[in-house]
Amino acid sequence: MIIIILIIVIMLFVDREKALSILQEFWESKENFLVIYGRRRIGKSRLIKEFLKRITPDNYIYFLASRRPIRYNLEKLTEKISALLNASFSVNDFVSLFRMLVNIVSGKRFLVVIDEFTYLIEADRGIISDFQEIVDDILEGSNVKLILIGSLVGMMEQHVLGAKSPLYGRANRIIKLPPLDLEHLVSWFGKADLTEIFKIYAVTNGVPKYLEFFRGENTEDEIIKNFFDNSSFLFRDAIELLKEELREPTNYILILEAIANGMTKLSEISNYTYIEPTKLMPYISTLRSLGIVKREVPLLAPKKARRGIYTISDMYFQFWFRFVSPYYEEIENEEPENAIANFQKNFNTYLGIPFETYARKKLRRVLRKRGYRVDILGRWWTKNIDIDIVAIDNKNRKIVFCEVKWKELSLKETYRILAKLEAKAEMFPHKKDYSKEYCIVAKKFREKLTEALLIDLKDLTISGKQDRVEQNL
């Protein structure tokens, strides 16, 4: 039993070596202010608790703020510090608390961690100015260090890290904790089939908390259990996360539902939501600031090009708003049959979206290992033509055109896709002295050919693992 528990603990803490290294360097340096943030369930608290195991217990305080008045949080933190340092004192604000702390610990190195700092900001925006004074006037030159952790990404980026924040530019280190990548899920799920692991990746976005609900066996049954049961965590969490960040989530839900169902242009989103295009932009801007939605333009087009489209960048939200949201009330009323039928019919086709996103993320690295130096990479489209990935190597004067298919391709299908890709590439506005090369990324190939680069799911994933090994040497 002990061995099983140990294995689970190790699995739940994969790929945080770099963040731990940054925290260790911060602790050993003369720096005194670090910020950690990232979406909920990403493992921020787990990261800091893992790091605190490296520090003697009487050298730090970990405090989890609560959604209560500032005075309540101040008193609770004061009590914790008083008990640890065996020094009874009372203060009226956080500035006085840190001034007292610096005096008591004297030359001793000491760390204060405040988790869910955004709850304090919600209670009183003026707290940010207090912490500016703490960082500038009290911690400077002392051995007391401060780590602030936040889950409300928009609030952290605006009120703690933003240019108008009193704390702007003061953090010595900033850690934005990302989701786990597919190669990390391979470590997590051990010997599970790579295709099944990708399915889990495509619905969880690699969020550690979500991965805990999967075993990598009978994946589609596990997805049904976790998303189409009204008592399940993953069924409810999308709405809970939006409620955390947004006061009135209704219009945001409609917008995300539209995008998830392929309505990516502003006019299409407007038609679906019945919100005028001019009134849509504040909602979309908010979703972009939260890292849920992103705007894409064709490769080589200016960022403000009119041909821009909107996509959902978080795969958990992408899946949820495609398959769960339209049937939310039915699932809530324990009538999930229509939702499940829709999922079973369309899920395999849907997987092409996250697979294309993953291929675009990894192809630069794969091409580099094959001798290319990719300067620009992205999707390109015009009125009636769409090329999944175009990679430009200016040094070697080459352009690689790539089609992505979530499918096991026969040799005949491979040749057919290649012929269509070559025809579409003729429309790409490129320099005449650049050679054109062709690439197909697929789930799997039954046979290989030499006329094009053929890259499968395993190639993409192994490339990432190899890079990680090289970086650690």
Specify whether the backbone of 106 is left (phi greater than 0), alpha (psi in -120 to 50) or beta. left
DSSP assigned state of 213:
T
Q: What mean pLDDT is reported for the chain?
A: 90
Q: pLDDT at position 15, please?
A: 63
Angle at Cα 278 formed by Cα 276 and Cα 282, nearest 5°?
105
Asked if 286 contacts 301 with a C-beta cutoff of 8 angstroms, the reply is: no
* Distance, C-alpha 405 to centroid of its chain: 24
Can you list the residues of the chain whose pLDDT is less than 70?
1-15, 463-473
Specify whether the backbone of 158 is left (phi greater than 0), alpha (psi in -120 to 50) or beta. alpha
Q: Quote the radius of gyration of the chain (alpha carbons, Å).
A: 25
SS3 256: helix
Distance CA 240, CA 236 (A): 6
Distance CA 139, CA 103 (A): 11
For the chain, domains (ranges, CATH) are 2-176 (3.40.50.300), 179-227 (no CATH), 246-350 (1.10.10.10), 354-472 (3.40.1350.10)
Distance CA 414, CA 418 (A): 6
Task: Report pLDDT digits (tens) over 316-366.
Answer: 999 999 999 999 999 999 999 999 999 999 999 999 999 999 999 999 999
Q: pLDDT at position 248, please?
A: 87
DSSP assigned state of 274:
T
DSSP assigned state of 404:
E
Residue type, 131: F
Nearest to 410 by CA among 450, 451, 459, 444: 444
Q: Which residues of 109-144 are buried (b: 16+ CB within 10 A; e: fewer)?
A: ebbbbbbbbbbbbbbeeebbebbbbbbeebbeebbb
pTM of the model: 0.86
Give the list of residues 6+ apart from residue 417 with CB closer than 8 angstroms, or none: 403, 405, 409, 440
Q: pLDDT at position 463, please?
A: 56
Check the CA dihedral 11-13-18-24 and report its sign: negative
Task: Report pLDDT digits (tens) over 284-319.
Answer: 998 988 889 999 999 988 877 777 899 999 999 999
Distance CA 236, CA 258 (A): 19
Q: pLDDT at position 2, please?
A: 34
7-8-12-16 Cα dihedral, nearest 10 degrees: -10
